[in-house]
A and B are shown apart, each in its own frame.
Chain A
């Protein structure tokens, strides 16, 4: 008995243990042989013999089980060790690309306004004078047209200089209340370090019945929006002029580079100009045939937002498909 136990505990592999198992517990094994003796044992001793035999079987079984556990664990451990690799070698395997920072910024802007129940609207890039200028209170001789150097076509059409014509198109095809943003590509005939002939804007327009929409409402949404985009910044409104809004304002945030102390990016002023806004000019409503309404509008340049948010120094690099820039946004 002790001898058998010893044998089990000395098995050093699962194969040897298996052999022992057959030797002990198999049909022709030691235990089976012992149990076979039972029939020759006198009835009076049978019980005691059987009990002793069962006890031995239990002891042997448990010795076997525990040895099995140990050897199995050893085997798994050796399999595991055999499969060991230097996992740190594989940290560079991702081949994911990246969204363009301007488009990603545009997404974030759109998401904000969609969450506030704005509809998204689109319009054509090739526009006519009426939608791009006239209807926006910019008659042909208006000095403010100087602000927008325009690409023209031979037939008098033009590439839209802002996303504002989408306001006009939307108002001419729908009735108030209007609550839209118009993200899109716009064009100005300007090409230097800080200007590209194409860039992106997001325009917003809200129109409700007269007396409903106020400058205070405009301030409220823009302050919240700018903090959503730029974090905990100060927001400042400065009176300004746009032909299509009145009163108009330009909106600044406290400089996110120097926290308003004054640096190179904010030209020492501590403020960064980020968008323009205002109460829709009555002449715009007149041009689209609206009466008895009030509204606000705002517009922003997406490239400027993206450059500020991601601290991208060079505007033109955004249009060159430069993977050295793009891969930083993986």
Chain B
């Protein structure tokens, strides 16, 4: 919402209020100031009166003007075509410096001397008002020849842009803003008095009549006028340009200006649209559905109140007789109706849906004032009216309750005074009990908390003293709080292991997910309005996002790229779960003196070690997952607490090539599976244990996992631990390999004899021999 200081001043006295104060007050009462800007007109630009204007002898497009500038008559050559119809203009005198550092100097234009310049609006830093120079009139104030143009307060104005919240339709007009200011400044609005001169002396009823059908939930007021001549005053043009309203015709300008000033919704019709065979204007108002009020002329729907108007019936600058319509409809009724009827809405709907001014007479009177001054538009006497039955909103307000909401004692009298000023009708029922009748223009106020908000706004939110809330002690450590804490621990471990935390969109590109064989959202459950192709579906893995991040970092010349992310992924039925994903690409460590600046590439062992530093103990078993990123021979399932919780792998070389990245490893784990489990301590043996190595020769393709399964299946009570420590292959071994396993053997009951140890080893050896034809090396 854009207003100007001088426009506000039409409705409220702001002579003693500075711009800084205005800025502070607007913010304090909830009309957020988006921008405040003063318009400065350079000095030595003055009002001039054109005395004569003749064609330049040597230039078709130039005119030689004699202009009275107060101190004398100056000859000025002007190139604007409209100068011939101008009387009062703004003249930049010799020495004036216009925006863009343009200094006005003596000049000779094709042999004719010129002592100044007749200005267009843009040349003075004002918005464009169309081609040519500004043609001034008394709408900016009394035109005194020689007076500084910048001394007119309607010219050197302040433009204020307010960011209104959706509930404040009442402030979508200059008058509405002034009304709120009047409460904040505690001063009355200037009354708008205008006695319309009804020159026609003909009653509207002689020409027009109105018929209604159904329960009309809108207020309507029609006036009929004949148009002889019309033009816009300078100030109307300037203010419309400042507030960036761009009407198509003079009549539209008048309506738009009036609506912006008063908040009353106005439309103009060519009266011919309503004239019937008997040459009578008949306006038919029909309420077919709740909240939808249609205007018909000759059986044709011409407009819907508050929503739209048929182009063909709109009055334009050729229209000889116009039917003016002022309307109001309660936005709460309107928006619901429009939503369900899905109607086409025009530019006025923004205002009607948020609440326009119900004071229709005020709007029409303001319009009449404009018409009478600058146009020859004559109105018929009287108007055609439709009044909707409206329920008054009367709230019973316990002022103690307001104090409780605010948290501070506020005197009832103070509240009453604020509310009355805001237009509420107050009845005092008791010490702390009042009724407040809500003014029609505040449809947004429906309950006591709305009333509290008004009080808070006006007494000043910053005048409320902060007060800590006392509450009863209660443990609030729930599972979500715990999960958050655990997640934080994991994240901190990941950064200790060298990873950077990544955050990426939970979207992905469907084609890429499909390409790599990841799950995708079912078509019937898919996003219907994705924002871009690359984010057109929910992600089912974070790995693709991480790979893209790796690729970007490669382009930033990063050589070691360790990233992790804990985030949501979605299954094909859109099941949401949280995963913990890692990627490590390129150098295993930073370049430094200990690796002579040549760190080795990340490999399977060091990646596994890093993951282990984050998630703790786990087992790796052959990979059961399937997707296009996995390396078939360097991938594994990760078991934590014997549960399968995800996988890690080297990046498939073909994907590595297509992304143009160095050796890359990744892992994706289900976060839920990593949540720490409750643990009970096991007894620790008091007896000495021994480490024993066993080297067996087995077929190359037999994995340690298979060997370990055989060993574990024996469930040997003395075998505490076993782990591989060496694998050896050479030509002599051929298709075989030598695998060395270290065992830790210990009893809970006694010190072991050599024979006990031998028994364990030999049982293992026999089992391996039987299962895999293992030989002792």
Contact = CB atoms under 8 A, between A and B. Distances in A.
Contacts of A197: 505, 507, 531, 535
A237 B546 CA distance: 41
A321 B528 contact: no
Interface stretch (A30-38, A75-83, A87-95, A253-261): A87-95
A247 B453 contact: yes
B500 interface: yes
Contacts of B471: 117, 177, 179, 208
Given A95-B589, A97-B495, A238-B30, A120 B484 contact: yes
A319 interface: yes
A97 B339 CA distance: 52
6 contacts: A93-B594, A99-B501, A185-B567, A216-B466, A246-B449, A281-B449
Nearest to A183: B484
A144 interface: yes
Given A177-B474, A249-B461, A321-B552, A294 B500 contact: no
B166 A241 contact: yes
A238 B135 CA distance: 42
Given A95-B589, A110-B484, A247 B502 contact: no
Nearest to B462: A237
Interface string A297-330: 0000000000000000000001111111011000
Interface in B332-378: 335-336, 338-340, 353-354
Given A90-B593, A189-B531, A237 B553 contact: no
A92 B594 CA distance: 10
A323 to B, nearest CB: 5
B624 interface: no
Contacts of B55: none
A141 B500 contact: no
Contacts of A240: 30, 32, 165
Contacts of A282: 447, 449
A239 B556 contact: no
B408 interface: yes
A179 B475 CA distance: 11
B563 A321 contact: yes
A177 to B, nearest CB: 7
Counting from the closest, the 7 A-B pairs by CB-CB distance are A214-B407, A216-B407, A321-B549, A239-B30, A241-B165, A141-B339, A247-B453
Given A120-B481, A215-B407, A246-B449, A239 B501 contact: no
B477 interface: yes
Given A107-B488, A189-B531, A241-B166, A214 B406 contact: yes
A95 B590 contact: yes
Interface string B271-310: 0000000000000000000000000000000000000000
Interface string B515-527: 0000000011111
A114 interface: yes
Interface string B449-471: 11011001100011011111101
B727 interface: no
Interface stretch (A21-29, A40-48, A148-156): A148-156
B362 to A, nearest CB: 24
B28 interface: yes
Given A97-B497, A215-B456, A320 B552 contact: yes
Given A152-B527, A152-B529, A246-B453, A99 B552 contact: no
Given A323-B558, A327-B500, A211 B461 contact: no
A239 B461 contact: yes
Interface stretch (A11-19, A62-70, A122-130): A122-130
Interface in B424-467: 447, 449-450, 452-453, 456-457, 461-462, 464-467
B524 A189 contact: no
A98 interface: yes
Interface stretch (A2-10, A49-57, A219-227): A219-227
Chain A interface, >50% SS class? mixed
A226 B457 CA distance: 22
Given A97-B494, A98-B495, A323-B553, A191 B531 contact: yes
A200 to B, nearest CB: 8
A96 B552 contact: no
Given A211-B401, A237-B461, A321 B574 contact: no
B405 A214 contact: yes
B405 A154 contact: no
Contacts of A212: 469
Given A97-B562, A220-B466, A241-B165, 17 more contacts: A103-B501, A119-B478, A126-B574, A146-B166, A155-B524, A197-B507, A198-B505, A212-B469, A219-B467, A239-B28, A239-B30, A239-B453, A241-B168, A247-B449, A247-B457, A294-B405, A323-B558
A324 B555 CA distance: 11
Nearest to B482: A120
Contacts of B27: 236, 238
A163 interface: no
A215 B405 contact: yes
Interface in A200-215: 206, 208, 210-215
A147 interface: yes
Given A107-B488, A239-B453, A217 B594 contact: no
B250 interface: no
A117 B476 contact: yes
A219 B500 CA distance: 37
Contacts of B488: 107
B252 to A, nearest CB: 25
A141 B336 contact: yes
B239 interface: no
A140 to B, nearest CB: 6
B404 A211 contact: yes
Contacts of B54: none
Contact of B528 (A147, A153, A246): A153
A250 interface: yes
A153 B450 CA distance: 35
A60 interface: no
Tell me which of A97, A191, A241, A282 has the highest count of chain B C-beta atoms within 10 A of its own C-beta: A97
A92 B503 CA distance: 26
B712 interface: no
A327 B27 CA distance: 40
A201 B655 CA distance: 35
A319 B483 CA distance: 24
A103 B491 contact: yes
Tell me which of B338, B468, B474 has the highest count of chain A C-beta atoms within 10 A of its own C-beta: B468
Nearest to A119: B476
Interface string B219-259: 00000000000000000000000000000000000000000
Given A119-B478, A185-B568, A215-B464, A95 B529 contact: no
Contact of A216 (B335, B465, B545): B465
Contact of B503 (A100, A180, A217, A223): A100
B503 A247 contact: no
B407 A97 contact: no
Contacts of A237: 461-462, 464
A319 B539 CA distance: 15
Contact of B462 (A89, A96, A139, A236): A236
Contacts of A215: 405-407, 456, 461, 464
A176 to B, nearest CB: 11
A118 interface: yes
A92 B499 contact: no
B17 interface: no
Contact of A238 (B32, B167, B480): B32
A190 B32 CA distance: 23
Contacts of B478: 119-121
Contacts of B531: 151, 189-191, 197
B525 A153 contact: yes
A311 B465 CA distance: 31
A74 interface: no
Nearest to B457: A239
A155 B480 contact: no
A99 B495 CA distance: 7
